[in-house]
Every structure is written in structure tokens, then in C-alpha cells.
Amino acid sequence: MAFDLMPFMRDIKDINGPLTIISNRAPYELRKRAGKATYEKTVGGLVSVLDEIMCQDGGTWVAWGEAAGTVERVSVPVEDPKYTIKLIQLSDQEVRNYYQGFSNRVLWPLSHYFLDRCHFRTEYWKAYESVNYKFARAYASGARSQESIWIHDFHLTLLPSLIRGENRDLSIGFFWHIPFPSAPVFRVLPWREEVLRGLLGSDLIGFQLHAHAENFLQSVEDVLKVPVDREKLIIEYEGRTVRVGAFPVGIDYKRWNTLASNPTNEEKALQIRREVGGKYLLVGADRLDYTKGILERLLAYERFLEKYPEYHGNVCLLQIAVPSRTRVEEYMILKRSIDETIGRITGRFSTRKWVPVRYLYKAFPIEELVNYYSAADAAMITPLRDGMNLVAKEYVASRIGDNGCLILSEFAGAAGILKDAVIVNPYNIEDLADTIHRCLSMSESEKQSRMQRLRRAVKENDVHWWCQSFLQTLAQTSQGRKTEVAGINPPTSLT
Ligand code: F6P
């Protein structure tokens, strides 16, 4: 076990009652192993930490049971059950309209400032509403009147109010993982009022950055005409106090550091370098999503190859793209554009002995990702907009030799924390091309001092810190409850 969660969870449990987590995706997935179906934990530091809390303390996790068939409940971990997942069944039409539709073709593009990709369809909204009801009903069966609930992300904005109902004793926390857009953008949403009122059923609403919390407050003021207190970061709403705050999500630094320190990692990293050939290796790793700036990155790399021919034969960009939301049209179109662009760059610059881009369209377990991060001289993390971006932090945590260079978009939430990265505007193709050259020719001492500071920042605000600070603030905020829980700085200090 990475660290002992028990003391602070005990305090929180005493104040708020047992914890229920609600999210769109479940922490365990149904997989077939040797012909036998079993539930396995999904990859990701965030899920691991939340799973750790649930395993120590018991409780319930409510989530969409994708591929779970008719199974409604599963006790996990399967080999030694500690808590229960309530699985919600969605019909194909619900998946199309609630998940692919309202979540991924309305709230996702809107929150990432891609208004031209928003499809404001009534059938999407109706399904979103009814699936949120479905989650609320699933939660309510067997729920206790005094407990704390932690709801995750933009798929479930209506849930806090639906669950709250008349129940003032419940302690409800909501974490918004993606950017919250500025008020003039948010106001475009035809169902803006419903979404805000839904969220305001919470006691605490957490965002990645203080700027996102401010955008939310401004939207509440503009849309609902409800006064907000920007100093205290609170809203008095329907006789309750709703608090907002910034809690930048971290990674499991220790785990990445340990994986990177394993001697087999060094061997594998060297092997990757040998296989791609040449002197310099750049890495990009993203879900295949238009917000990630993969296409713009490729264009910048192409421009770099045009401008700096001295690197021909000596550099490779290894792009990992994890298949994502593959049934959503925008993602299919993007995939084609990326395939074409990579084809063009490869055809234009390759020689018999050298291929300038390697493209891996698949998901990797973290034990393999760490090999790529350790192998690369620089990581290109250049989203057009991102709530946080954990890949940037994973790259840093993998650089145990304090070397390597992080090229980071100013539009990633991570840029607010990783100030020693080389910060770029991913839309500025010319500048990004020059930045690649700058990073590859940067002195070792500059890389080292930057990386040391970056590693400190990632280590200090890791996923355990995130989880603890959110839950402790929830305990302090919950209606009518005063707590002596000590130790963690209040999130308002984060900007
Ligand atoms: O970062 C936002 C988010 O929705 C996460 O909650 C999720 O893990 C990720 O994007 C992947 O998206 P999806 O769940 O649609 O595959």
C-alpha cells in the first residue's frame, strides 16, 4: 500500500458517514481471461487511489456497467471483496445520446472551447437528463441518510441536486475534471440553467484550477443571478452554502518513480532508442482527441524538419495515440486526418534508413509507458485545451535522472503547476517548430535545473494529496458540520 489513508478517512467517516463514489466509468472492467470473465481494475492513478480508499474503508461505487450485460452488482476486488460496485445498464440509444451525444458532443467541446463541434440536440439533452435520473435512482436504493458522496465529472452534472432532494444531511462533493469554460462560452449552452442548478446541489465543487472555479462563479452570477462571494469562494444557494475550490489532480508520483527506477526499465528504454535509431527521440502520448493538439503537433514537427534539415536521419517523433470515443464522428474524422498527416510526413522525409515518425495507435499499460517516457529526450504535451493533463506529470515523474525536457501547452491546466516546462502556444506552428530545436539543443545544466523543480512540483501535489485535500475540504464544508480535521492547506491558496 502506497500510504496510510486510514487516519484521515476515519475523521471524514466520523463527520460525514461512509463514502459513495459515483462516476460514469467504473473502476473495474469486465475482461475475459483464459475464457473466464472477470472484473479487473482499470489503468490510471486516479482510479487506483480511489479504489485504495474504498478497499480500506468499504462503501459503494455507482457507475455505468459498460459490457457488464445484466450484472447489477459486483464485489471487488474479485479475489478478496472489499466494496461493491453498482452497475448501471444503459441501452444503445442511451449510450448514443447521453454518452456519445450530450457528454461528448455538447459538454466536452463546449468546455474545451470548441463551439463549432457542439451539437445542441434535444434528444441528447433528454437522454442526459434521464440517465442522470437513472444514476440517482441506483444510488438511492440502499443509500443511508447520512453519508458522503463524491460525484465525478461532466457526465453527471444533474446528479447533486437529484440526490440532494430534501436531504440536507448528505455531504455531496463534485469534482469537475475538465476545464470549466469562461462565462460567455458557457452561456451558449441551451441547458445552462439546468446544469448549474444541478451542480449547486453539492456542498463542494472542485475544479482543476482557480481560473475554472472563477469561471463557474461568473456563470452562476450571470445565468442564475445568484450572488457569489469571490473572496470566500462560496455561494449561498437555497439556504445552503456551496463552496468551490481548486484541487489540481496529481499522479501517483511514487509509483512512476519506482517503475522508472527498475533496471528493466533502463534496458527497455535503451532498446526503444536503438529501435527508432538516430540521436534524438521526442514522445507524444494522448488519447486520440481533437483537444490534444496531435494534428498541430505533427504540423509543427513537419515544419521543424523543413527548417532544420541538420536533424534529418537523427530525430524521431514517437506518437502514442490511445483509441478513444471511436464511435463519435469528430473522432473518426480526426483519426483520418492524423493518419494522412503521418503518411505525408513519412513519405516526404523518410529515407531507406530513417523514419521520422513512429505512430502507435493503441493503449499501453503504465509498465510500458514508463519505458517510452524514460527513452525520450523530450515530451511534446501540446493540447489545445486540457483540464490538467496527467501525461505531462507522468513524463516528469519518470525522469529519475533529472534530465529530459518537457514541452507543454499553455492551455493545459498542468501549465499552472509545471512552470519550469518550456511553455508553448500549440496553435503557433512556427514557434513550436523552433521550440523543438531549442529543446533538443538545450544545455544539460538547464534541463537538469528545470527538471529538478518540475519533479518537486509533481511530487508535492500528488494524487494522494489531491484526494485527501478534496475530502477534507468536503468534510469541513458540509452543511452544519464543523470539523477539527487538520493538516492540509485550504485549496483557496492555489491559483
Ligand atoms: O478527462 C475527462 C475524461 O472524461 C475522464 O473522466 C475520462 O477518464 C477520460 O476523459 C476518457 O474519456 P472516456 O471516459 O469518454 O473514455
| pLDDT tens by residue, 285-329 | 999 999 999 999 999 999 999 999 999 999 999 999 999 999 999
Tens-digit pLDDT profile for residues 78-125? 999 999 999 999 999 999 999 999 999 999 999 999 999 999 999 999
In tens, the pLDDT along 171-213 reads 999 999 999 999 999 999 999 999 999 999 999 999 999 999 9
Q: Is the pLDDT of residue 494 over 70?
A: no
Q: How far apart are CA 153 and CA 206, in angstroms?
A: 10
Q: What is the pLDDT of residues 437-468, one digit of tens each?
A: 999 999 999 999 999 999 999 999 999 999 99
d(CA 16, CA 230): 26
Asked if 317 and 311 touch (Cβ cutoff 8 Å), the reply is: no
Ligand 1 atom nearest the C-alpha of 104 is: 15
Confidence check: pLDDT of 493 > 80: no
Read off the pLDDT band of 70 (50, 70, 90): confident
Burial of 380 (0-12, 13-18, 19+ CB in 10 A): buried
To the nearest whole percent, how much of the chain has pLDDT over 70? 92
Q: How far is the CA of 110 from the centre of ligand 1 (A)?
A: 15
In this predicted structure, what is the pLDDT of residue 377?
A: 98
Would you state the cell numbers that stand for residue 402, as one nine-digit string? Answer: 533529472
- Give the tens place of pLDDT for each residue, 336-386: 999 999 999 999 999 999 999 999 999 999 999 999 999 999 999 999 999
Question: Ligand 1 pocket by C-beta < 6 Å: which residues?
Answer: 25, 153, 177-178, 324-325, 387
Q: What is the model's pLDDT at position 142?
A: 73
Q: What is the mean pLDDT of residues 232-239?
A: 96
pLDDT at 245: 98
Q: What length does the chain have? A: 495
Catalytic residue among 203, 286, 377, 386: 386
Rounded to 10 deg, the angle between the 463-477 and 45-57 helix axes is 50
Per DSSP (E only), the strands in 261-334 are 280-287, 315-322
Q: How far is the CA of 229 from the centre of ligand 1 (A)?
A: 31
Cα of 111 from ligand 1 centre, angstroms: 13
In 3D space, the residue among 111, 117, 36, 123 whose CA is nearest the CA of residue 78 turns out to be 36
Interatomic CA distance for residues 406 and 323, integer angstroms? 24
CA 141 to chain centre: 29
| DSSP per-residue letters across 228-254 | EETTTTEEEETTEEEEEEE------HH
Burial 46-57 (b: 16+ CB within 10 A, else e): bbbbbbbbbbbb
Minimum-distance ligand 1 atom for the alpha carbon of 99: 15
For residue 387, the ligand 1 atom closest to its alpha carbon is 1
Asked about 80 being catalytic, the answer comes back as no
Ligand 1 centroid from CA 289, angstroms: 11
What per-residue confidence (pLDDT) applies to 372? 98
Nearest Cα residue to atom 5 of ligand 1: 177
Q: Which residue has the cell 519506482?
A: 258
Average pLDDT, the chain: 92
Task: Output the CA–CA distances (angstroms, integers) from residue 431 to 281, 318, 406, 411, 428, in the order listed.
Answer: 19, 20, 15, 15, 5
- Whether residue 166 is predicted with pLDDT greater than 60 in this model: the reply is yes
Parallel/antiparallel/unpaired status of strands 60-64 and 19-25 = parallel
End-to-end CA distance of the chain: 31
Residues paired with 234 in a beta bridge: 229, 243
**Cell representation of residue 400:** 529519475
Q: Can you give the pLDDT at residue 45?
A: 66
Among 96, 108, 152, 324, which residue has the most ligand 1 atoms within 8 Å of its CB, making it the best to mutate? 324
Distance 351 CA to ligand 1 centre (A): 38
Looking from the CA of residue 25, the nearest atom of ligand 1 is 14
Contacts of 386 (CB under 8 A, 6+ apart): 112, 178, 179, 291, 292, 409, 411, 412, 413, 414
How far, in Å, CA of 212 to CA of 495, rounded?
A: 10
Q: How far is the CA of 300 from the centre of ligand 1 (A)?
A: 26
Task: Look up residue 195 and give its three cell numbers.
Answer: 446544469
Nearest CA among 47, 71, 42, 45 for reference residue 150: 47
Residue 483 clears pLDDT 50, i.e. is over it: no
Joined together, the cell numbers standing for residue 382 give 501540446
Q: For residue 477, what pLDDT is reported? A: 87
* pLDDT value for 438: 98
C-alpha atoms less than 13 angstroms from C-alpha of 399 in its C-beta half-sphere: 27
Residue among 50, 177, 212, 331 whose CB has most ligand 1 atoms within 8 A, to mutate? 177
Exactly one of 57, 169, 177, 437 is catalytic; name it: 177
pLDDT score recorded for residue 487: 42
Confidence tier at 3 by pLDDT (50, 70, 90): very low
Q: Does the annotation count 386 as an active-site position?
A: yes
Pocket test for ligand 1, best of 48, 153, 393 (most atoms within 8 A of CB): 153
User: Which is nearest to 246 in space by CA: 197, 199, 211, 196?
Assistant: 211
Residue 489's pLDDT is 42
The predicted pLDDT at position 123 comes to: 98
Residue 351, burial from CB neighbour count under 10 angstroms (0-12, 13-18, 19+): exposed
pLDDT of residue 118: 98
**For a substitution probing ligand 1, which of 21, 22, 24, 25 has the most ligand atoms within 8 Å of its CB?**
25
Instruction: Give the pLDDT confidence score for residue 227 in this predicted structure.
Output: 96
Task: Using the mean position of ligand 1's atoms as its centre, give its distance from the Cα of residue 487 in Å.
Answer: 31
pLDDT at 482: 43
Q: Mind listing the pLDDT tens digit for each residue in 128-149?
A: 999 999 999 999 987 776 689 9
